[in-house]
Structure 1
Amino acid sequence: MGSGESDSYDLELVHGFGSSPIQRSPSASGRRTKRWSFHDSSKPNLVDLPSSSGVNQRRLSDLSGIDGVHKEIDSNHVSPAQLYSTESGRLFHAGKICISLAGLPGRGKTHLSVSLTRYLRWLGVKTHSFHLGDYRRASAEDDIDHDLFIPSSTDPKVHKFRRKIVKNCINDMLNFFQNDKGQVAIYDAVNALPEYRVDLYKKFKELNIQTIFIESLVTDNSIVLKNMKEAAKSSPDYNNWNYEEAYRDYSERIRILTPFYQEMGLTEEEKEISYVKFTNFGERIELHNSNYGYLINKVVFFLMNSRIKVGSVYFARCYNNSVEYADDPPLDEAGKKYAENLSRTIMDYIREQGKTHFDENEEASENVTQMKESSSSSLERVPAAGADGVDENSFVIWTSVKRRTIETTKHFARKGIKIRHRIQLSQKNPGKVGNMTQEEIAKNFPGEYEQLLGDPYHHRFSRGESYHDLAIKLEPLILEMERMSGDILIIADDTVLKVLYGYLMACSCYDIPSLHFPMNEIIEIKFNAYSNSSKTIPIKNYV
């Protein structure tokens, strides 16, 4: 730890949480857009240097991506659910942590690394995923094929290439810790042999970096087959490949590597290593040497709620978004037309994907339909957490407890679709300015209006809420969403949709208030192991 970092750390110990107030970047143009590089040799070599090295240079360059989960976090970044900031940029009671994945291909390691990165960043933990596959692709050599995946290969060229990409990846991790004030680095690699894992553990231990392994094991062949199909379709390894050829290639990679992989905990050298065995993506979790601190316990809790996603999340704005916060009117005639158009659009779209959510459910009886349409969350018995959406072919709808959102779902209710009313999905409370226009707010509260313009995410008016308040309130629903495998439709006020979209697409708090959800569109977010993607679905006029 350098002297400057040590001073910051001591300051945090003296002043406790919030020793440095959260501050918004003065301008969007000042935020960096660089991302971690995988091939530029100008970054200083920290792998072979002692922990006391004071090198301050680094190498960064652009990396393409769909959502923001792979972007480098700049020094002015404030996470949407971040409760406090410190001088060092780290939670002072958690230290530096390397989470290292282990497991054969097709076991969901990349999904784990990316989803963990997304969640920890959302909480304000400076986290970055380092995928060894990115370094392999960036340095690819035509005459090295599947031999690269054999851990004990005797080919000198393969051995040299493997050492090169591992060294580059770990070097970037060390630079992330030392020069970017990173707190959690997630190392996404097979780590097939005990000696690899022990060497990594010892290296980071010397540098006072806590290491925990998460070993993803799969005993259910159906999970492996699904992961193989997804990898053949969307892995960066198979861009522009024919699906059948990609599937065969990935299958061959697994076949070659499987005899060499050694499960963790079977050798004496690994006895002191902390690790989690994560079997069948949450079916069973075993903790070894579990003397963990706050942050690792948050990681383990997240793992308990994590599932591989095959469905999508759909966002639809509730009708009459301008209704006063305290008002709760029913749908008028235009609202009923909107509800039918929304329902038929999403049903037709999902049927086009080959799913049968709506065809398997028979029309409910008139009495049951009327009961569902008039029910609220206080009357409907909601199942225990984790019960909804477990099946991959499931479809669940979430609404707020407002009448106009509940009544919007009546066409789904007739199909027997599960509808849950969540009080956390209530719109952002505007407080004392609830019935005012922007012009009236600027005239009556010019000082507060300036604060709102300066930080629209964190500012709250008297007796009201901020977007940050919504983000904290929505965390239980975010974890529930992580437990679900199938499709979810969320009908809510656009203030709520902005925050949930911000989580799934790894937006910064600077961007969330400016997101726009038109009334005539549905937003679909599709999950992918490497990154999520969003798509707009126009709502058709059926009536």
Structure 2
Amino acid sequence: MERAVSGVRSKRVPGERDKATTVLSMVGLPARGKTYIGRRVARYLSWLGHPTRVFNVGSYRRRQIGASQPADFFAPTNKEGRQVLHDLAMTALDDMLAWLREGGEVGIFDATNSTKERRRFVEERCRKEGLPVVFIESFCNDPAVIEANVRDTKLKSPDYVDMDPDAAAQDFLRRIAHYESMYETLDDPNQSYIKIIDVGRQVILNRIHGYLPARLAPLLIDLHVSPRPIWLTRHGQSAYNQHGRIGGDPELSPAGEEYAKHLAEFVRKNAKRDQEVAVWTSTLRRTIQTATKITRSPRTWRALDEIDAGVCDGMTYDQVRIEMPDVWAARSADKFRYRYPRGESYEDVIQRLDPLIIQLERQRSPTLVIAHQAVLRSIYAYLMDRPPGECPSISVPLHTVIQLTPTAYGCEEKRFALPPHVEDQGAGG
């Protein structure tokens, strides 16, 4: 039977149709997580399809004058040092504005921006370019958090390579003290800003307007640096996987049921005894069945359902290629944006996963996500900061657990192939 239905390329969601070029300017003392927040925001917005780039002044400093600068270089009384730092910041600002003129959408100016005078200057420069500015401040006075951030992240930076950890910590604390002596927190009622207090204990929004700044608020509220594994796995082999069919709601094959047992053993072995593992599945039978050896009540999410193959649901790829050559050719040309007739594209999948990503960022316990190939590719792209257009080519084999552990600057990845080994035909979700 011939299915002569042509496909379409997916359109951007309404909020994305009009490009809204924006500057996000970080604010905060050293060791307060500014760079961590800036990179997370960039990763999130890029994943959603907004070209975003971070311009980190510390990186400019290390490239231009070297990494090993003593704490006194940053002292307010060191006029030469202050002038060098000012010039580097202006270079980074100029580069960001040039990038935005060339087609960038969101520029993140990652610097301490610790005085009202500096922030007014940044705002005026951006206003001359017709660009709105939203300041994002990470404000923290918790000594435990600051010390942990110093030792876990700052001492691993290029500034302190091959330096004794205790000596490096003392030097960096002196650097912080220099900045504290002139620091002024955000309090201008006329400025647009988001202030994050004590790593999300309180978040203050002031004059936040527009699609992108408003979209960032839920993410910033839930960001934290608590280490925990995120386990991504496809369901066990299904009847559709055996025959290379797309989509559907089949049950597990005998091999898939065997995988569910091995997955439960993996979780019991790798989760700490005092930690409760959050188990998330789609609403489809094969993911829920895969979770049954771990829990009888997983949290089910429609957002985790496999990409909707529309009129191609239940077909094999060979059938699509032979019976619907136009669909096959169009999808092959752009697998990321191509939308199945009466179905979805990868771009659509990312949009529906957006609220779930916020929930995932909120999790502090180990989380096991049992879902489907296209969905897990999209989540992996977010966590590993891969361009969204690469989603269709990311490897997510059957009967494999992908362990991603968030760190200050990304995610550490490990993969575990569990028995039984099955032939992965790349279909069936």
Q: TM-score range by the shorter chain?
A: 0.7 to 0.9
Bigger mean CA offset, 518-527 vs 474-483 = 518-527
Which of 48, 70, 76 is the aligned partner of 1:145?
70
Deviations 1:438-488 (A, max 9, x none): 222221111111111111122233333322222222111112112223322
In 2 relative to 1, CA 219–176 (structure 1 residues): closer, same or farther, beyond 3 Å? same
| 1:234/1:528 contact within 8 Å kept | no
The residue correspondences of 1:19-418 to structure 2 (distance < 5 A) are 82-83=12-13, 91-92=18-19, 94=20, 96-141=21-66, 144-150=69-75, 152-156=76-80, 158-178=81-101, 180-232=102-154, 234-238=156-160, 246-265=168-187, 270=188, 272-288=190-206, 290=207, 292-321=209-238, 322-323=240-241, 325-329=247-251, 331-350=252-271, 356=272, 359-360=273-274, 395-413=277-295
Distance in structure 1 (CA, Å) of the matches to 2:205 and 2:302: 35
| Residue aligned with 1:125, SS | coil
| Residue aligned with 1:413, SS | coil
Distance in structure 1 (CA, Å) of the matches to 2:183 and 2:189: 18
Bigger mean CA offset, 228-237 vs 115-124 = 228-237
In 2 relative to 1, CA 508–340 (structure 1 residues): closer, same or farther, beyond 3 Å? same
In 2 relative to 1, CA 481–103 (structure 1 residues): closer, same or farther, beyond 3 Å? same
Which of 406, 411, 415 is the aligned partner of 1:527?
406
| Residue aligned with 2:13, SS | coil
Does residue 488 (structure 1) correspond to residue 409 (structure 2)? The answer is no
Spell out structure 1 runs of 4+ moving beyond 6 A: none
C-alpha displacement of 1:333? 4.0
| Residue aligned with 1:300, SS | helix
- Percent identity, aligned pairs only, is 27
| Residue aligned with 2:299, SS | strand
Q: Which has the higher helix share?
A: 2
Does residue 517 (structure 1) correspond to residue 396 (structure 2)? The answer is yes
Q: Name the aligned partner's letter for residue 167 of structure 1.
A: M
| Residue aligned with 1:481, SS | helix
User: 2:314 is matched with which residue?
Assistant: 435
User: 1:45 is matched with which residue?
Assistant: none
Distance in structure 2 (CA, Å) of the matches to 1:174 and 1:430: 41
| Residue aligned with 1:412, SS | coil
Distance in structure 1 (CA, Å) of the matches to 2:329 and 2:256: 35
CA RMSD of aligned residues (A): 3.0
In 2 relative to 1, CA 505–83 (structure 1 residues): closer, same or farther, beyond 3 Å? farther
Distance in structure 1 (CA, Å) of the matches to 2:54 and 2:367: 27
C-alpha displacement of 1:109? 1.0
Q: Name the aligned partner's letter for residue 154 of structure 1.
A: N
User: 1:388 is matched with which residue?
Assistant: none
| 1:314/1:525 contact within 8 Å kept | yes
TM score, norm. by length of structure 2: 0.84
C-alpha displacement of 1:219? 3.9
Distance in structure 2 (CA, Å) of the matches to 1:142 and 1:482: 32
Q: Name the aligned partner's letter for residue 109 of structure 1.
A: K
| 1:235/1:530 contact within 8 Å kept | no
Distance in structure 2 (CA, Å) of the matches to 1:195 and 1:424: 45
In 2 relative to 1, CA 186–200 (structure 1 residues): closer, same or farther, beyond 3 Å? same
In 2 relative to 1, CA 260–347 (structure 1 residues): closer, same or farther, beyond 3 Å? farther
| Residue aligned with 1:229, SS | helix
Distance in structure 2 (CA, Å) of the matches to 1:403 and 1:240: 53
Distance in structure 1 (CA, Å) of the matches to 2:208 and 2:129: 19
Where relative contact order (Cα < 8 A, 6+ residues apart) is larger, the structure is 2
Q: Name the aligned partner's letter for residue 306 of structure 1.
A: L
In 2 relative to 1, CA 402–224 (structure 1 residues): closer, same or farther, beyond 3 Å? same
C-alpha displacement of 1:114? 1.0
| 1:328/1:404 contact within 8 Å kept | yes
In 2 relative to 1, CA 436–115 (structure 1 residues): closer, same or farther, beyond 3 Å? same
| 2:27/2:113 contact within 8 Å kept | yes
Unpaired stretches in structure 1, ≥5 consecutive residues: 1-21, 24-79, 351-355, 361-392
| 1:467/1:495 contact within 8 Å kept | yes
Does residue 466 (structure 1) correspond to residue 334 (structure 2)? The answer is no
User: 1:15 is matched with which residue?
Assistant: none
Q: Name the aligned partner's letter for residue 83 of structure 1.
A: V
| Residue aligned with 1:209, SS | coil
User: 1:506 is matched with which residue?
Assistant: 385
How many residues get paired? 409
Distance in structure 1 (CA, Å) of the matches to 2:353 and 2:371: 13
Q: Name the aligned partner's letter for residue 278 of structure 2.
A: V
